[in-house]
């Protein structure tokens, strides 16, 4: 769910990749809060956060 202004979410911006409409990070890391993802990335790493979000049901996130 990329934002309506077509700017990449904070996670995709940090990872320097294109933010896809189905981006798992977009609902949790809005483009205007880049430090939020930077902190999570520093502790857990992007791969582990992706795995965690994908293993949970949407209502558990």
Ordered by start, the domain boundaries in the chain are 10-60
Span 16-53, pLDDT tens digits: 999 999 999 999 999 999 999 999 999 999 999 999 99
- Contact present, 25 and 38 (Cβ < 8 Å): no
Nearest-5° angle of CA 29, CA 34, CA 36? 60
For residue 30, which of 55, 5, 59 has the smallest C-alpha distance?
5
What pLDDT, on a 0 to 100 scale, did the predictor assign at position 25? 96
Higher pLDDT among residues 59 and 20, named by residue = 20
Packing angle between helix 46-55 and helix 34-44, nearest 10 degrees? 90
Mean pLDDT of 2-29: 88
Q: Is the pLDDT of residue 3 over 50?
A: no
Q: What's the pTM value of the predicted model, to 2 decimals?
A: 0.80
What pLDDT, on a 0 to 100 scale, did the predictor assign at position 5? 58
């Amino acid at each position: 769910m990329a934002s309506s202004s077509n700017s990449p979410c904070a996670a995709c911006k940090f990872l320097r990749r294109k933010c896809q409409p189905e981006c798992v990070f977009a609902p949790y890391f809005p483009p205007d809060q880049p430090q939020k993802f930077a902190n999570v990335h520093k502790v857990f790493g992007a791969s582990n956060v992706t795995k965690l979000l994908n293993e949970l049901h949407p209502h558990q996130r």
